[in-house]
Amino acid sequence: MTSGGDTAGPTPVEAIDRAMALLTALSDADSEGATLVGLCRDLGFNKSTAYRALATMRAKGFVTQDEDGTYRLGPAAVGLGARYFGPDSLAQLLHPALLVLSRDLGELVHLGILNGDRVVYVDKVEPDKAIRVWSQVGRNVPAATTSLGRAILAWRSVSDEQLDAFVGSAREAATLRDALAGARRRGYSTEIEENEPGIACMGVPILTNGSAVAAISVTMLAPTLDDDRVAQVAGRMAELLPPRLPDPLRLPSQLAG
C-alpha cells in the first residue's frame, strides 16, 4: 500500500540537490564567479558542506577555483552547454523565431555562429519579396565586417589586442572596436554597405550566461535603413524574440531599453 507521502514525487537526494544549487548559483554569477562565503550566504548552506560539494565538483572539472578562492563554472559544465548549443541544436531551437521575425518585418533573416575569425550561417529565412543578397546555410563570412560577427564579438570576452586577429590593419581594428562599442551601447550591431552595395544589416546576439553563443541578423536595402526603420526593426526584435527563445537563451537588456 502506498503512503500518502509518496504522491508528492521522489524525495530529493540532498547531495545532488546541493550540487545543482551551487552550479546554478555559479552560472548566475557569470564570469565574476563567487566566493564560498557568498555562496553559503545566498543559498543558506553550511560552509563545510558546501566546501565538500565544491571540492568534489572541482575534481571532476565542473568547478574551478582561483588563487583568491573565487569559484567559477569549470570546463566540464561549460562543455555541456556548448554541446547543447551546437549549430544543429541552435538552428532547431531558433528557427521558429526566425520565421516570425522574417514574416513580421518582411526581410531576410540569418542565424550565425562564430568559427575562428569567420561567421557561419546555420539557418536563414527569406521574405516573400526579392532581395539580391547571395547567402546559403554553411557559407562563412568575415566576423569583423558583418553584423552577425559584430553582435557575437561585442558580447564575448575579447580584448582589444585579441581583436587584431579578426582584421588585417590598425585602421580596421579601430573600426571594429568602434562598431563593438556602439553595439554594446545600443544592444544591436550594424553593417551598412560594407560587404555588398545597397545592402545593410542589423544583428543581435543570442546570449546564455551573459555570453553570445550565436547572433540573428536582419538584412534589408540600405536606403530603407533610416532612423525610423532602425527603431522599428530593433523594437520588433525585442518584442518578438524573447518569448520565443528557449531558456536560458536571452537578448541583450539594452535592446529592450
Question: What is the tens place of the pLDDT at every residue in 21-65?
Answer: 998 888 777 667 889 999 999 999 999 999 999 999 999 888 898
For 19, the grid coordinates are 550540487
Supply the pLDDT for residue 130: 67
Q: Which residues pair with 108 in a beta bridge?
A: 219
Domains and CATH numbers, the chain: 12-81 (1.10.10.10), 85-256 (3.30.450.40)
Q: Which residues pair with 218 in a beta bridge?
A: 109, 202
Cβ(26)–Cβ(65) under 8 Å? no
Query: Taking phi first (over 0 means left), then psi (-120 to 50 degrees means alpha), and beta for anything else, what does residue 86 get?
Result: beta
Supply the pLDDT for residue 79: 62
Query: How confident is the prediction along the chain (257 residues), in pLDDT tens digits per residue?
Result: 444 444 454 556 788 888 889 988 887 776 678 899 999 999 999 999 999 999 999 998 888 988 889 998 887 776 665 565 566 778 888 899 899 999 999 999 999 998 889 999 999 999 887 666 767 787 899 999 999 999 999 998 788 888 889 998 989 999 999 999 999 999 999 999 998 899 999 999 998 877 888 999 999 999 999 999 999 999 888 887 777 777 777 888 888 65
| 239, containing H or E segment | helix 227-240
Output DSSP code: residue 196.
S
Query: Taking phi first (over 0 means left), then psi (-120 to 50 degrees means alpha), and beta for anything else, what does residue 94 get?
Result: alpha
Residue 70 burial by Cβ neighbours in a 10 Å radius (0-12, 13-18, 19+) = middle
Supply the pLDDT for residue 2: 42
What are residue 167's phi and psi, to 5 degrees? -135, 175
The neighbour count for residue 254, using CB atoms within 10 Å, is 15
Output DSSP code: residue 223.
G
What are residue 191's phi and psi, to 5 degrees? -150, 120
Supply the pLDDT for residue 160: 81
